[in-house]
Amino acid sequence: MNLTDAERSGKLVLEAKGIGCTFDGLKLIDNFSTVIMRGDRIGIIGPNGSGKTTLINILLGTMVEHEGSVRRGTKLEVAYFDQHRAQLNDEKSVVENVADGEHVTVNGIKRHVIGYLEDFLFPPDRARMPVKVLSGGERNRLLLAKLFTLPSNVIVMDEPTNDLDIDTLELLEEMLMEYKGTVLLVSHDREFLNNIVTSTIVCEGGGRIGEYVGGYDDWLRQRVPDAVNRKVKITGRKKPRQKKEGPRKLTFKENREIEALPAMIESVEAEHAGLYKKLSDPEFYKGDGSRVAEAKSKIEKLEKDIADAYERWALLDRISKESA
């Protein structure tokens, strides 16, 4: 092993080679390879049921049956905030759930547990209460507080933003920004991802998994082929994050819509890919010039449709998760 190899392996968090996974005859992950290095902050996005949690389980080694191989770095300490949040002891107090004694160590700094819990909006009297009296929102906050006290060099969060109030969301953002280790983050929150991650893994459906540099917005930009995209500017309707009203359920119509969106996106993407292929063929430019202009404007429209559909899907998905 030469020096670069040694250096590399010290920085390696994990390397996946040709991983794959099939459930009930459906290919969920097809031949995906990636390398994750120390300090990477990776977002994982994709529609419901597209395999995000499964991918995490394979990467972390909690799912044994899969194709391909995953090599993990030495001395990995993973803190996992799972989607089902079953990690609190209901009978113990808030304080006892995060600390053994009076102090906690967060990001290498020792702090008094009461002060630390105040950061997470638990006043001292609330911090002495048993966990069983907490509301759903408080439980989420407590789990986050607990997560950052665990010794770790990798934090994995599966949809941590669901049911978080705005203050906690901002606090979580700050904690993740200060965190020195590697971050793997499944989320549908576009702004949250944009603020935190440096690259994005997208479960695109049908086993396809893509990797993009940057956050959610960067992904939207990059997924559109560059050559035809110079003129098109995909501007997400970026609204400042607002204080949420109470969670609401999807309407019947919205439910139908969200169910239909993945297939719709897939078909528009297929049309886009076909057209793009045509435009990449030099022969196509030999004929009628108006045909080329027409194809280009069509491709622009498709790109806008795709971006809008993803945006719509993310919004509906979030509403549905918040009310779940």
Ligand X SMILES: Nc1ncnc2c1ncn2[C@@H]1O[C@H](COP(=O)(O)OP(=O)(O)OP(=O)(O)O)[C@@H](O)[C@H]1O
Give the one residue of 22, 31, 54, 153 binding ligand X; rule: CB under 6 A: 54
187 binds, among ligand X, Mg ion, none (CB under 5 to 8 A by kind): none
Q: Which amino acid is residue 127, in one-letter code?
A: A
Residue 29 partner contact from Mg ion, ligand X, none using kind-dependent CB cut-offs of 5 to 8 Å = none
- Figure out which of the listed residues 23, 77, 241, 301 binds ligand X, where binding follows CB under 6 A: 23
Size of the site for ligand X (CB under 6 A): 12
Q: What is the DSSP string of 264-322?
A: HHHHHHHHHHHHHHHHT-GGGGTS-HHHHHHHHHHHHHHHHHHHHHHHHHHHHHHHHHH
Out of 15, 19, 40, 50, name the contact with ligand X by CB under 6 A. 50
Q: Which is nearer to ligand X, 149 or 187 (CB)?
A: 187
For ligand X, the closer of residues 90 and 259 by Cβ is 259
Neighbour order of strands in the sheet with 67-72: 26-37, 12-23, 67-72
For residues 189 and 158, is the Cβ–Cβ distance under 8 A?
Answer: no
95/314 with CB nearer Mg ion = 314
Using rule CB under 6 A, residue 49 touches ligand X: yes
Is 320 among the residues that bind ligand X (CB under 6 A)?
A: no
Q: Is residue 52 a contact point for ligand X (CB under 6 A)?
A: yes
Binding span for Mg ion by CB under 5 A among 53-61, 87-95, 136-144, 162-170: 53-61
- In the complex with ligand X, which residue's Cβ is closer, 228 or 265? 265
Residue 53 touching ligand X (CB under 6 A): yes
What does the block give as tokens for 164? 């978080």
What ranges make up the beta strands (E) of the chain? 12-23, 26-37, 41-45, 67-72, 78-81, 103-106, 109-112, 154-158, 182-186, 199-205, 208-213
Instruction: Answer left, alpha or beta for residue 84, where phi above 0 means left and psi between -120 and 50 means alpha.
Output: alpha
One-letter identity of residue 123: P
Taking the complex as a whole, how short is the minimal distance between the CB of residue 307 and ligand X, in angstroms?
20
Asked if 214 and 200 count as a contact pair (C-beta separation under 8 A), the reply is yes
The contact set with ligand X (CB under 6 A) reads 23, 28, 46, 48-54, 83, 203
The contact set with Mg ion (CB under 5 A) reads 52-53
